[in-house]
Amino acid sequence: MQGINQYKQVDTSASVQTATPHQLIAMLYRGVLEALARAEGAIERKDIQARTQQINKALDIIGNLRGTLDREKGGEVADSLETFYGAATAQLLLANKDNDVERVKRLITEFGEMADAWAQIPVEMHEVSAK
């Protein structure tokens, strides 16, 4: 299993190094969705350690998403995303504290919609959307 994880890490590192800014955001959305799905499973299995680990991973990724926001260039969209990410962070903290699978499921839906919307941005807008 360790070999597979090392391969995934190398593969991910190579992908990150060659990705466009637009692709990097898509990767972050995939990462948060994966962490949330694993947190959901951990809650259902009553695995507190895995739940906490995956929620913390999701929180780290959301922090990275927040860090990509450019309020000057992004205007209202950046402000809306900041509000969304802040609310998602609060919901995840509560989900972790209360072992609340429903909060996690709602966030999976919401981040899924965000990822889908991001994927719909036309290619010619990728450079603009990444700035």
Instruction: Name the one residue in this structure whose structure tokens are 């609310």.
Output: 87
Q: Which residue stretches of the chain are H helix?
A: 2-18, 21-45, 48-67, 71-98, 101-119, 126-129
Radius of gyration of the chain (CA): 16
CATH of the domain at 119: 1.20.120.340
pTM: 0.83
User: For the segment 73-97, what is each residue's pLDDT rounded down to a tens digit?
Assistant: 889 999 999 999 999 999 999 999 9
- A 10 A CB-CB count for 127 gives 11
Please give the average per-residue pLDDT across 29-47, as a whole number: 98
The residue range of the domain holding 113 is: 20-129
15 in any annotated domain: no
Q: CB of 59 within 8 A of CB of 97?
A: no
